[in-house]
Amino acid sequence: MHVVNVKTPSGEYPIHIASGRLDQIARSVPADASAIVLVTNPSIDALYGERVRTALSHLSCTVQTVLLPDGEGHKDFSSLNQVFDAMLQARYDRRAIIVALGGGVIGDMAGFAAAIYMRGIRFVQVPTTLLAQVDSSVGGKTAVNHPLGKNMIGAFHQPVAVEIDTDVLDTLPQREISAGLAEVIKYGLIMDAGFFAWCESNVAGLVGRDPSILSEAIRRSCEFKAEVVGEDERESGRRAILNLGHTFGHAIEAGLGYGQWLHGEAVGCGLIMAAELSNRVCGLPESDVRRVRDLVGAIGCPVVAPGLDGQEHWISLMKGDKKAESGQIKFVLMPRIGRAVVQPVDPGALREVLATCCE
Ligand code: NAD
Ligand code: ZN
C-alpha cells in the first residue's frame, strides 16, 4: 500500500492507495463516529455499495445510505438537500461521518454537505473515478453548481482520510480513464519534467490500465497535489498552477454545453492550447508543444478544439471563467516542461492560438 500524507493549516490526513482498499475503509472512520452516512449514486451503489456497507458493518454505529442522482446536471442544492433531509430526520449529531463513494460529483457534493451540516462534520473520500483519485478527492475543495456558474457555491473542507481502491477503475468507461489521465500529465507539465517523460514512456500501460503503472501514476499525482495544497490550501497563490489548461478547458465545456466533452477531455485539449500559448509568450520550444500534443492524443483525449462560433465567443467564455479577475484573463503558462507561471497575456498571442488550435 502507498500512503501519501496531506498537511494543510486546517488539518493533516492520509491518502491510502491500494488494491482492495474498499474492504478496509472502516479503519479510516474515526472511532467516536455516532453514525455513518454513505453518500453515493445508484450506478456506483450497484457496483460497490454492498461491499462498502459490509466493510463498515464492523463498526458499532448505524450505516445509512443516501443515493443521489447520477451526473453533473444533478450537482445542485436539491441533491444536497436530500443528504440533509436524511440526516436531520435521523437526528444525526455532529459526530456523524459522511463517506463519499463516487467520482468528483459525489465527492464535491458530499464534501460540501459535510462542510455545512451543523456547521461542519468530518468526512472520508472514497474516490471511484481516475479523475477523483488523482485530483478532486484531495485538497478540500467542495461545491455544488448554480444555474449561473459551475462550482460557484462551495467551501474548503478537508476530509479526514482519502481511501483509493485501484481495483474500482476496472469498471470505469475508457473515456473516463482518458479524462483522468489528462489531469495526471498536467502534474508533469507544471511540476516535474521527469514525470512527464515517465508518462510518455508508459502511455500504453496507462491507457491499457496496467495495475502497477496506474497505481504509480495515482501515487505520484496525489504527492504532487498534496505538495501544492499543503503550500496554498485556499488558492491565494501557488495552487493556481493546478489550473493549467483549465481556462481553455472551461470555455470548451461551457461553449459546447456541459457533458458534451468530459472535464478531463476539455482539459487535455486545453493543455495543448496552453502549450501553444506558452510557445508564443514565454519560449516553450516548438518540440515540447509537439510532445504535449502527442501525449494528449495518445491518452485518448481530443487534440483539436471546437470553434465555438468564433474567437469573440471563445474569449468571452474564457472571461466568464471565475479565475478571470476584473475581466483580465490570467493564464497558467509553461516556460518549459515541468515549470509553471501565472500571468496575463497579450490578446494577439491568444488569437493566434485560437486560430491554430480550433477547427
Ligand atoms: P463523475 O463523478 O460524474 O463520474 C463519472 C461517471 O462515472 C458517473 O456517471 C459515475 O456514476 C461513474 N462512475 C464513477 N465511478 C465508477 C466506477 N468505478 N465504475 C463505473 N462507473 C463509475 O465525474 P468525475 O470526472 O469523477 O468528476 C467530475 C467532477 O469533479 C466535476 O463536477 C468537477 O467540478 C469536479 N472536480 C472537483 C475538483 C476538486 O478539487 N474538488 C477537481 C476536479 C474536478
Ligand atoms: Zn480539472
Q: Residue 305 in contact with residue 248, Cβ under 8 Å?
A: yes
Q: Residue 20 in contact with residue 240, Cβ under 8 Å?
A: no
Ligand (nearest to CA of 139): 1
Ligand (nearest to CA of 184): 2
What does the pLDDT read at residue 324? 57
What does the pLDDT read at residue 7? 97
What's 328's DSSP letter? B
218 in a known ligand binding site:
no
Size of the chain, expressed as the number of residues it contains? 359
> Which one from 163, 183, 223, 276 is the annotated catalytic residue?
183
ipTM (interface predicted TM): 0.99
Pocket of ligand 1 (CB under 6 A): 41, 43-44, 47, 70, 72, 75, 102-106, 108, 128-129, 131-132, 135-136, 139, 141, 151, 168, 171-172, 176, 263
Ligand 1 mean position, distance from CA 356 (Å): 31
Q: Distances in Å between the alpha carbon of 142 and those of 112, 115, 125, 139, 165?
A: 5, 8, 11, 9, 21
What does the pLDDT read at residue 275? 98
Which ranges constitute the DSSP H helices of the chain? 42-44, 50-56, 77-89, 104-116, 130-131, 174-191, 193-201, 203-207, 211-231, 246-256, 263-281, 286-298, 311-320, 347-357
- 175: annotated active-site residue: no
Residue ranges, the chain, pLDDT below 70: 321-327
Which regions of 93-199 does DSSP assign to beta strands (E)? 96-102, 122-127, 141-146, 149-156, 161-165
What is the bridge-based pairing of β-strands 339-344 and 330-336?
Answer: antiparallel
Helix (H, G, I), strand (E, B) or coil at 325: strand
Ligand 1 mean position, distance from CA 133 (Å): 9
d(CA 26, CA 22): 9
Strand partners, 154: 143
> Which one from 225, 233, 265, 293 is the annotated catalytic residue?
225
d(CA 103, CA 22): 14
What does the pLDDT look like over 281-330, one tens digit per residue?
999 999 999 999 999 999 999 999 999 999 999 999 998 765 555 557 88
Atom of ligand 1 nearest to the CA of 129: 15
d(CA 315, CA 336): 25
- 243: annotated active-site residue: yes
Residue 76 phi/psi, 5-degree rounding, is -145, 180
For residue 351 the three cell numbers come to 488569437
Ligand 1 pocket: which of 48, 51, 131, 253 to mutate (most atoms within 8 A of CB): 131
What does the pLDDT look like over 56-79, one tens digit per residue?
998 999 999 999 999 999 999 999
- 21: annotated active-site residue: no
What does the pLDDT read at residue 37? 98
146 in a known ligand binding site:
no
For residue 145 the three cell numbers come to 453548481
- 263: annotated active-site residue: yes
For residue 153 the three cell numbers come to 457555491
- 265: annotated active-site residue: no
What does the pLDDT read at residue 148? 86
263 in a known ligand binding site:
yes
- In the chain the domains, ranked by start, together with CATH numbers, are 2-170 (3.40.50.1970), 174-357 (1.20.1090.10)
Strand partners, 325: 328
What does the pLDDT read at residue 236? 87
Name the residue with the closest Cα to ligand 1, atom 35.
Answer: 104
58 in a known ligand binding site:
no
What does the pLDDT read at residue 326? 58
- 223: annotated active-site residue: no
> Which one from 41, 145, 243, 279 is the annotated catalytic residue?
243
- Residue keyed to cell 462534520: 121
Distance of CA 181 to the CA centre of its chain: 11
7 in a known ligand binding site:
no
Strand partners, 50: none
- 313: annotated active-site residue: no
